[in-house]
């Protein structure tokens, strides 16, 4: 039985897997207590089955795979055991296994055999992940911000709000003091009206940082006030930052000048970076002039970002707005973002580092957001997506005065996946390229990446989009022998600027998908006569119940 080394496993819907076309599905069943699915495919011998492993790794987290079993048809016992506990149908298969550690998973496979092999995929939705997803989206799960039983004001620690006095030590001492209340219901640090100059300081668990109206936290332009931190391995708990229209100003101009002049020895800082945090609430604040990214939650879960304004001048280099990075269970809503690069950019690690760290961005809901990105994309996925990005629901966007409206970027060597995405109800105005999909975002952190590790881009639905004064409708360029698949366009009307020809408003290569009610008419690659593979809002409910 012949094999090539890729595209062996694909999806027919988000909750089922399908065998290669020449294999016959053996079983698809569910176990009630662990909410599992088992899926078996036949293969003629061990080596072709092992060649699937790199592909399976890429899809591991998208389907919640806890491991793989390769079973010889001639073995006895194990499959009988599966039958006895009600997980599997009748079978006389069994196996002697040895363990092979691979990243965070354990793969079980046989020593050599000439008999047929069965690939068993155990799919688990972990209860302890606390995934809350349905067709309505995560933003519909509202949580209340409980008042903290203890509160102090930053002036109690010697801070002066004159815009000149450096208050780094005052903020650090205040946070250190408030740590003692973490097991007593937490505490609030209150920042009154004034201009509070400070360097970098860390928040703590169970802390509310509250900015009064007209309170402005100003980032110091003295680089010594920004300590150097270790790089994130892919490239806390209970923190709240509500406010009454307070402002955090990163004073990024000097950092932009250093960046453009190539005089920086390290990466630029972000205004707000949340690492390994759970239950984070950021609301009613303005973020100005970040040296790099304004809000960067990384390895976080249960995050609400609401009523936020982000601004950096259009010529500020690579100043992204909100960057969810390897995060889960997140809501971004009622925000206005105008920055130099990407308004909202979803990421999950870079090349082999992101693959090894193995944490996706998933179950993220974005709605009612206004985006401007004159030199970037209003909404971006990637290009750092090696840990995977999936189950993203975006609705009610307004994107204007941007280079690109919505972009998906990846590259050879990235690995990972972008899958199960729905973007609906979008207005675009004065956008050069409405949709940008590319597999040629070729930057890499170093030369250690493996160009043979290919990304998976599939099941992306774009629907209900109206665009005016659009220069080009769409650019879709997948990777040779690694096409982007199940790209679905529905009810899209783009008014192309008069100085551009309609026949050339789409460009497509190495991509396939479906379209209906799209003007101007898309490439033939995107005109499949069936929509059965398209990801839809109903699938969010299906996955949540799996």
pLDDT tens column, 12-25: 333 334 444 433 33
Could you please state the CATH topology (level 3) that the domain comprising 128-335 is classified under.
Pectate Lyase C-like (2.160.20)
pLDDT of residue 243: 64
Residue 292 pLDDT class (50, 70, 90 cuts) = confident
CA distance linking residue 6 with residue 53, whole number of Å: 10
**pLDDT at position 253:** 81
> Mean pLDDT, to the nearest integer, of 105-125?
33
Task: Please give the pLDDT value at position 500.
Answer: 58
Is residue 400 pLDDT above 80, yes or no?
yes
**Average pLDDT score over residue span 331-347:** 97
| pLDDT for position 239 | 57
- Give me the mean pLDDT over the 107-129 stretch: 33
Separation between Cα atoms, residue 523 and residue 474, nearest integer Å: 9
Residue 427: asked if its preceding bond is cis (omega within 30°), the reply is: no
Least-confidence region, from 27-36, 233-242, 375-384, 417-426: 27-36
Sign of the dihedral defined by the CA atoms of residues 472, 348, 452, 7, in that order: negative
Give tens-digit pLDDT for 505-545. 999 999 999 999 999 999 999 998 788 888 887 766 545 44
Q: What is the pLDDT of residue 18?
A: 42
The tens digit of pLDDT for each residue in 48-74 reads 444 444 444 444 444 444 444 444 333
What's the rounded mean pLDDT across residues 34-38?
A: 31
Q: CA geometry: angle at 407 spanning 404 and 411, to 5°?
A: 125
Q: Which residues of the chain does CATH 2.160.20.10 include? A: 128-335, 342-546
Residue 136 has pLDDT above 70, yes or no: no
Number of H helices, E strands in the chain: 7, 30
How do residues 487-502 score in pLDDT, each as one tens digit? 999 999 999 986 655 5
Count the residues in the chain: 546
CA-nearest of 263, 200, 267, 196 to 230 is 267
Task: Report the relative pairing of strands 98-102 and 105-109 from DSSP bridges.
Answer: antiparallel
pLDDT value, residue 488? 96
Q: Give DSSP secondary structure letters for 462-482.
A: EEEEEEEEEEEEEEEE-BTTB
The chain-wide mean pLDDT, for the chain, equals 75
- The superfamily (CATH) of domain 342-546 is Single-stranded right-handed beta-helix, Pectin lyase-like (2.160.20.10)
pLDDT at 241: 63
Q: Look at residue 234 in the predicted model and tell me its pLDDT.
A: 66
List the single range of 49-63, 65-79, 345-359, 367-381 with lowest mean pLDDT.
65-79
Is residue 222 within 8 Å of 260, Cβ to Cβ? Answer: no
Question: What DSSP element (H or E) covers 50?
Answer: helix 46-51
């Amino acid at each position: 039985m012949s094999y090539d080394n890729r595209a062996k496993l694909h999806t027919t819907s988000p909750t089922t897997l399908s065998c290669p076309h020449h294999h016959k599905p053996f079983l698809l069943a569910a176990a009630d207590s662990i909410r599992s699915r088992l899926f078996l495919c036949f293969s003629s011998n061990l080596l072709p089955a092992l060649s699937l492993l790199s592909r399976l790794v890429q899809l591991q987290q998208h389907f919640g795979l806890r491991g793989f079993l390769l079973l010889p048809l001639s073995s006895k016992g194990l499959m009988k055991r599966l039958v006895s506990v009600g997980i599997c149908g009748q079978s006389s298969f069994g196996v002697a296994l040895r363990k092979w550690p691979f990243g965070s998973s354990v793969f079980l496979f046989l020593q050599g055999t000439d008999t047929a092999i069965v690939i068993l995929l155990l799919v688990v939705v972990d209860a302890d992940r606390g995934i809350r997803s349905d067709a309505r989206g995560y933003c519909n799960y509202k949580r209340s911000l409980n008042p903290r039983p203890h509160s102090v004001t930053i002036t109690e620690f010697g801070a002066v709000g004159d815009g000149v006095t450096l208050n780094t030590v005052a903020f650090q001492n205040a946070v250190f003091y408030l740590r003692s209340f973490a097991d007593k219901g937490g505490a609030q640090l209150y920042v009154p009206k004034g201009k509070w100059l400070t360097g970098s300081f860390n928040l703590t668990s169970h802390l509310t940082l509250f900015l009064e109206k007209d309170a402005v936290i100003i980032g110091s332009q003295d680089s010594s006030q920004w300590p150097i931190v270790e790089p994130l391995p892919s490239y806390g708990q209970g923190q709240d930052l509500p406010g009454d229209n307070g402002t955090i100003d990163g004073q990024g101009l000097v950092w932009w000048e250093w960046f453009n002049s190539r005089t920086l020895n390290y990466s630029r800082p972000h205004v707000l970076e949340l690492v390994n945090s759970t239950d984070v609430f950021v609301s009613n604040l303005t973020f100005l002039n970040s040296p790099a990214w304004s809000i960067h939650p990384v390895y976080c879960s249960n995050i609400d970002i609401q009523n936020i304004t982000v601004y950096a001048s259009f010529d500020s280099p690579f100043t992204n707005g909100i960057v969810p990075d390897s995060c889960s269970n997140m809501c971004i809503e009622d925000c206005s973002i105008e920055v130099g690069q990407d308004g909202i950019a979803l990421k999950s690690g870079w090349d082999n580092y992101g693959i090894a760290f193995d944490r996706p961005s998933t179950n993220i809901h974005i709605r009612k957001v206004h985006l401007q990105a004159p030199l970037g994309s209003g909404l971006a996925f990637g290009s750092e997506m090696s840990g995977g990005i999936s189950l993203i629901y975006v609705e009610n966007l307004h994107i204007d005065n941007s280079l690109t409206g919505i972009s998906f970027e990846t590259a050879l060597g990235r690995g990972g996946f972008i899958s199960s995405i729905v973007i609906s109800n979008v207005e675009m105005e004065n956008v050069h390229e409405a949709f940008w999909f590319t597999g040629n975002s070729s930057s890499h952190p170093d030369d250690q990446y493996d160009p043979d590790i290919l990304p998976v881009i599939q099941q992306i639905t774009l629907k209900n989009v109206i665009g005016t004064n659009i220069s080009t409708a769409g650019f879709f360029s997948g990777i040779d022998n690694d096409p982007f698949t199940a790209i679905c366009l529905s009810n899209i009307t783009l008014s192309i600027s008069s100085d551009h020809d309609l026949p050339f408003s789409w460009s497509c290569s190495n991509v396939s998908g479906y379209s209906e009610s799209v003007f101007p008419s898309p490439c033939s690659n995107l005109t499949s006569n069936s929509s059965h593979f398209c990801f839809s809002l109903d699938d969010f409910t299906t996955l949540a119940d799996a």
